[in-house]
Structures are given as C-alpha cells and as structure tokens.
C-alpha cells in the first residue's frame, strides 16, 4: 500500500455554534469532533498528520496530539477557502510523496472502512468521496462523464439550475497523490460566487492534466457535518443509538435505552443491568453481572463483576470498585480503590482512599482528603467497621479488623483490631423534655388569654 498522510481542515471559526471554543473541540459521545475524525483516520496508519487551524486555536492541536503524538500544525490566518487551507499544510509535508487524504474536522462520523475504500479507489491518482442525498441543498454537486469519473465539482452557489437537480454530492473528503496536489494547488483561482480558493476545483484541473478523478461513495449519514448545536445533538443521537444497540447485542440489559448515555469507549461485560437515566462518561470499564441503578453518573472508573452501583451514585476518575462491592445512594468515589465485597451504601465521600475487602463504610462517612492546599491519602484495611458519620482526616491509616464508633473524627492512625472512638460524654437529663414542653404550652395559653 502507498504511504498515506492526512490533512485535517479545522480552521473554521464555527460561528454558528455561538461558542468561545473551537467548533471541532465540542464533544459527542464523550469524544471531541476532531477526536472522532482522528480515531477513524488511525486505520490509514498515516506517516504525517497535519491539522490546519486558525490563530488562537492551540487547544485544537493539543487534542490532535492526544490521537497522533507527532501531529503537526499548520496555521491558516486568513480563511480564504478549502483549497487555500490545504496549501497551508504543504510545508509540513514537504518530504512526503505518497497519498494525501483531506478530512474535515467537523465531519465526525466518517468510518475507517470508508477511508480505506477511498484510498484504494484513488490508486496512484485521485478520488473524491461522494454520497446520494434526497436534499442536496448546500452541497457541491459531482458531475460525471460517461465512464463514471468525476470531471467537475460545482458548488451550489455557482451551479446552474440543471446542475442543482443532481443528487450526487461532494462530502469534501478527498484522496490525492501528493505530487499532483502540490502541482495543481497554485493553479486554483477565486473567481467564483464566494471569492474563495475551492479545493473542489482540483477535480477539473486534474482531469485536464490527464489524471481522471475516481468516485468512492458512502451513506449520507456518515458525512453529516456539524455547523450548529442542533446538528451537534443530531450526531450525538446517531452515536447513542449505535452504542445502545452495540451494548444490548453484547448482553447488556438497558431497561430504558433512550435514557442511557454512553461514551464511544465504554466497555461493559455480560449480564449487566443498567436501569434508566445512567450516564457513562469517557474511560469506563464494567465487568460481568454488574447492576447499575438509576441516576448514576460514571466516568473514568472501573467496576468489577458482581458489583452494585447506585441508585444516585457518582463514580469519578480513578474509582476502582472491586468484585461484589456495593456503592449506594448519594455516594461519591474519586481516585480510590474499594476492595472486594466492601460496602458504602449511603451518603458518603470516598476520595484518594484505599478500602480493604469486606469493609463496611457507614452512612455519612467522609474522607477529608484536602487541607486546602494538598490532597492526602486514607488507607482503610480489610474487614473494618466504620460507624456512621465518621470523618477520616487524611493522611490516616486504619488497620484490618478495626472498628470506628459512629460520629468519630479520626485524626490518628488506628491499629488493627482496635476501637477508635472520639465523643463528648452524653449528658442525660431525666424529665427535661416533658418540663420544657409543659412550660412552653403554659406560656402559649397565657398569651392567648391576654389577647381574648
Ligand atoms: C465544502 C465543499 C462542498 C461540500 C461540502 C461538504 C468546497 C469549496 N466545498 O463546502 O463541495 O459539499 O464542503 O460539507 O470545498 N475550512 C478551513 N479554512 C477555510 C475554509 C474552510 O479550514 O478557509 C474548513 C472548515 O473549517 C471546514 C471545512 O474546511 O471544516 C469545510 O469548509 P466549509 O466552509 O464548511 O465548506 P462548505 O461551504 O460546506
Ligand atoms: Mg460546511
């Protein structure tokens, strides 16, 4: 296979998003639009990846490096069109002579098989990715010759009324031999309705230079673009439908599928039951036989088989929940290991902690992990009983088999099998409540008498 490099166009401001952030960094299914494109592009195993961004868009390049650590950046200061944007990448690809694939950063559903098909179709020359649409308005139209080659792409604004009836549209994604690309780009002009340098004009130029442009096609949904937040939500819906189906086909029961939201990378085992209204953020791995009850929010967490999560649980990044453990209502776990069979069933915060197997964490327990400046660790052994409303002031260690009495504030290490109790003595006053009640009732009666 020929060497491939990719250019991702992402210089657009995305003004219709009404956002302070670059359009391609908006997320669907737990991943940025750019991330989806680059993830699909991994299948091409590119030699070089160049992202064309505008000024003040460092974050776009940083995100690109999350997918391709060697990704390079090309800056397009003035937005003079797609052809101009591609020419900004020429310097970064000066030593490359294989096939260049141009992708759009805001077309996230493009799939790896389609990209492979496009590059195979291009051979040593050039191919565009097209699609049939019942509503082709706004797209460039592909004009073919008798042999099925694309001889010209006509932008909607420049098209005749006859050309506008064509339903075969341009996705914008092309594959083209690098030498051919760099030789033709300087020939583009901007004498068109938008006054821009159109990448699409390469097709006519290549044909004139003796390289016919081939056509690869894909379904319209795959090249749906994002211009505003309505389209963003449409892409989200497409992805969620896909992932709900994927998990159900893999043996996950979704009681109300439309209310459960996944990330593209969510991994779930067999015989897991997910009740309504659960959100899986990025980086979640769930084992077999887990029960996830309603209104739980889980991200960056691992849940081992047989565990029970929720209702109303929050698992944050670094939560590692052991086999058969229970994390109940209004319990938050962050960057903590919860051992096999351990239980924290109600109203608890566990952060920067290790909890041993079989330990019971009572309602209202808090690991006080932050002193206002730094985070500290709480280490609780196996088979420990932590009574309700305990504050564990970290750094602190509780040995195996220890008991902590309800309401204690634990500020020192507790040895194994010890009892820790911190309380003031209970002051009991016999009959006090009755006397108080009678005194209050008498005063109320006296007030009423005076008023009448
Ligand atoms: C483009 C195609 C059109 C195709 C449509 C598919 C051209 C001339 N037209 O039109 O045939 O049907 O996509 O959606 O290519 N960009 C830059 N710098 C620029 C201009 C654009 O980086 O100077 C980027 C944008 O951020 C975007 C992509 O290129 O990611 C496409 O640009 P856009 O303005 O949306 O092109 P369309 O008019 O939609
Ligand atoms: Mg567009």
Query: What SS3 state is found at 138?
Result: coil
- Residue 13's pLDDT is what? 80
Any ligand 1 atom below 6 A from CB of 9: yes
Which atom of ligand 1 sits closest to the CA of residue 105?
Answer: 30
Which atom of ligand 1 sits closest to the CA of residue 78?
Answer: 23
- Residue 5's pLDDT is what? 98
Nearest CA to ligand 1 atom 17: 11
Catalytic residues: 346
Question: In this structure, are residues 392 and 384 in contact, taking their beta carbons and an 8 Å threshold?
Answer: no
- Residue 51's pLDDT is what? 98
User: How remote is the CA of residue 177 from the centroid of ligand 1, in Å?
Assistant: 20
Query: What SS3 state is found at 212?
Result: coil
Any ligand 1 atom below 6 A from CB of 198: yes
Any ligand 1 atom below 6 A from CB of 139: yes
Q: What is d(CA 163, CA 193) in angstroms, rounded to the nearest whole number?
A: 15
Backbone angles phi, psi at 154, to 5 degrees: -110, 120
Query: What SS3 state is found at 100?
Result: strand
Q: What is d(CA 128, CA 124) in angstroms, rounded to the nearest whole number?
A: 13
Nearest CA to ligand 1 atom 3: 140
Any ligand 1 atom below 6 A from CB of 12: yes
Which atom of ligand 1 sits closest to the CA of residue 14?
Answer: 26
Which atom of ligand 1 sits closest to the CA of residue 139?
Answer: 12
> Which ligand ends up closest to the CA of 24?
1
Closest CA to 105 of 164, 183, 49: 49
Any ligand 1 atom below 6 A from CB of 79: yes
DSSP 124: T
Q: How far is CA 436 from CA 9, 287, 433, 443, 446, in A?
A: 77, 57, 5, 11, 16
One pLDDT digit (tens) per residue for the chain, 452 residues? 789 999 999 998 889 999 999 999 999 999 999 999 999 999 999 999 999 999 989 999 999 999 999 999 999 999 999 999 999 999 999 999 999 999 999 999 999 999 999 999 999 999 999 999 999 999 999 999 999 999 999 999 999 999 999 999 999 999 999 999 999 999 999 999 999 999 999 999 999 999 999 999 999 999 999 999 999 999 999 999 999 999 999 999 999 999 999 999 999 999 999 999 999 999 999 999 999 999 999 999 999 999 999 999 999 999 999 999 999 999 999 999 999 999 999 999 999 999 999 999 999 999 999 999 999 999 999 999 999 999 999 999 999 999 999 999 999 999 999 999 998 999 999 999 999 999 999 999 999 999 98
Instruction: Go through 25-58 and write b for each residue having 16 or more CB atoms within 10 A of its CB, e for each that does not.
Output: bbbbbbbbbbbbbbbbbeebebebbbbbbbeebe
User: How remote is the CA of residue 171 from the centroid of ligand 2, in Å?
Assistant: 9
Any ligand 1 atom below 6 A from CB of 200: yes
**Token pair for 387:** 């009574």
What domains sit in the chain, N to C, each tagged with a CATH number? 4-223 (3.90.550.10), 229-420 (2.160.10.10)
The DSSP element (H or E) to which 361 belongs, if any, is strand 360-361
Query: What SS3 state is found at 210?
Result: coil
């Amino acid at each position: 296979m020929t060497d491939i490099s990719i250019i991702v166009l992402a210089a657009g401001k995305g003004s219709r998003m009404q956002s302070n952030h670059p359009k391609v960094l908006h997320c669907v299914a737990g991943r940025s639009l750019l991330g989806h494109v680059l993830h699909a592009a991994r299948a091409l195993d590119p030699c070089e990846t160049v992202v064309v961004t505008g000024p003040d868009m460092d974050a776009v390049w940083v995100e690109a490096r999350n997918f391709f650590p060697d990704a390079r950046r090309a800056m397009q200061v003035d937005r003079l069109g797609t052809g101009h944007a591609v020419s900004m990448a020429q310097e970064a690809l000066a030593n490359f002579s294989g096939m260049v694939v141009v992708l759009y950063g805001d077309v996230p559903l493009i799939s790896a098989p389609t990209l492979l098909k496009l590059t195979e179709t291009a051979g040593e020359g050039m191919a565009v990715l097209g699609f049939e649409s019942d509503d082709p308005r706004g797209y460039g139209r592909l004009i073919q010759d008798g042999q099925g080659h694309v001889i010209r792409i006509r932008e909607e604004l420049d098209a005749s009324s006859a050309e506008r009836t064509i339903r075969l549209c341009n996705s914008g994604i092309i594959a083209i031999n690098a030498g051919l690309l760099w030789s033709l780009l300087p020939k583009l002009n901007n004498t068109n309705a938008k006054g821009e340098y159109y990448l699409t004009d390469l097709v006519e130029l290549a044909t004139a230079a003796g390289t016919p442009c081939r056509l690869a096609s894909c379904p319209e949904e795959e090249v749906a673009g994002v211009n505003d937040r309505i389209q963003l939500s449409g892409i989200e819906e497409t992805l969620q439908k896909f992932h709900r189906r994927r998990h159900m086909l893999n043996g996950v029961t979704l009681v109300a599928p439309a209310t459960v939201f996944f990330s593209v990378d969510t991994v779930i085992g067999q015989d897991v039951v997910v009740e309504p209204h659960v959100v899986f953020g990025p980086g979640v791995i769930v084992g077999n036989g887990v029960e996830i009850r309603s209104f739980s929010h889980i991200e960056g967490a691992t849940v081992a088989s047989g565990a029970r999560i929720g209702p109303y649980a929050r698992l944050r990044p670094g939560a590692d929940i052991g086999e058969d453990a229970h994390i109940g209502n209004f319990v938050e776990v962050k960057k903590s290991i919860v051992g096999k069979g351990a239980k924290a069933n109600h109203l608890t915060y566990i952060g920067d902690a290790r909890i041993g197997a079989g330990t019971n964490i009572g309602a209202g327990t808090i690991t006080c992990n932050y002193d206002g400046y730094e985070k500290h660790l709480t280490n609780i052994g196996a088979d420990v009983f932590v009574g309700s409303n305990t504050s564990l002031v970290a750094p602190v260690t509780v040995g195996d088999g220890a008991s902590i009495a309800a309401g204690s504030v634990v500020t020192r290490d507790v040895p194994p099998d010890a009892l820790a109790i911190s309380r003031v003595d209970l002051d009991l006053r016999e009959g006090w409540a009755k006397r108080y009640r009678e005194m209050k009732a008498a005063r109320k009666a006296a007030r009423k008498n005076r008023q009448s």
